[in-house]
Amino acid sequence: MAASMETQNQIVQMTQFILNEAKDKAEEIDTKSLQEFSVEKLKIVNATKEKIHQDYARKGKMIDTQAAIARSTAINRSRLEKIKSRQDMLGKLSDDSKLQLVQQLKSEATLKSFITKLIVQGTLMLLEDDVQIRCRACDDAVVTACLDAASKEYSKVIKAETGATKAVKLSLDKDVKLPPAATSGAHGAGCMGGVALVCQNGTITIDNTIDSRLGLVLEQVGSLEHLGHL
């Protein structure tokens, strides 16, 4: 009987031991599982946060890029509008100037004085002994009438500026003519008047036409206008 009780106790003890071992094992598994869950949860949270940050950064860059493109487009549009406005202004200035020049040069005395000054200016730039003058065919008579006065004025300026005595032989180029004034609907370049000076067998030429001088003035006006907007 005593042996049976001892056996029973041993069984109970073994059973209790097994249950305790199982309980400890279960708790260990639970603890480990909880730790692994926490680690995985943290990884997922961090990954989600990183993805959100990246999305916001990408969207932020996209917004910045769109803003930069819009700003650049607005600046370019403004520049194009300014360029167009400046070109329109220069075009109107050119047209008005041409009309005024045409009116002023209708006077023969004014035209001769103007042509003479153009010839003298060109000869002073060349400083050659023999210079041919080219003009429009319709201006042959006026230009021919200016040659003697231009030659004398050239010598006078050289004498006053340097003390030297120097003359220039001026002649009208009868073979090569400047194009006539442009007419509505006509093709090709026209010439409002003025002269071109040629020397050294045509290798050196100075364009002192009204069109050339007006173009230089308008170019200077455009440059000043451009600087004013910088």
* Beta strands at 194-199 and 204-209: parallel, antiparallel or unpaired: antiparallel
Q: Could you give the CA distance from residue 25 to residue 17 in angstroms, rounded to a whole number?
A: 12
For the cut 60, the answer to whether the pLDDT of residue 225 exceeds it is no
In whole angstroms, what is the distance from residue 208 CA to residue 192 CA? Answer: 11
Q: Which residue ranges make up each domain of the chain?
A: 1-106, 107-228
Q: What are the C-alpha distances in Å from 216 to residues 48, 84, 205, 219?
A: 68, 19, 17, 5
What is the dotted CATH code of the domain comprising 107-228? Answer: 3.30.2320.30
**pLDDT (tens digit per residue) in 94-116:** 677 777 877 888 898 999 999 99
Is the model's pLDDT at 148 over the cut of 90? Answer: yes
Lowest mean pLDDT among 79-88, 118-127, 172-181, 201-210: 79-88
pLDDT in tens, 29-57: 878 878 888 888 888 888 888 888 888 88
- 118 vs 135: CA distance, rounded Å: 12
Q: Could you identify the residue written with the tokens 């071992």?
A: 21
Neighbour order of strands in the sheet with 169-172: 169-172, 130-134, 194-199, 204-209
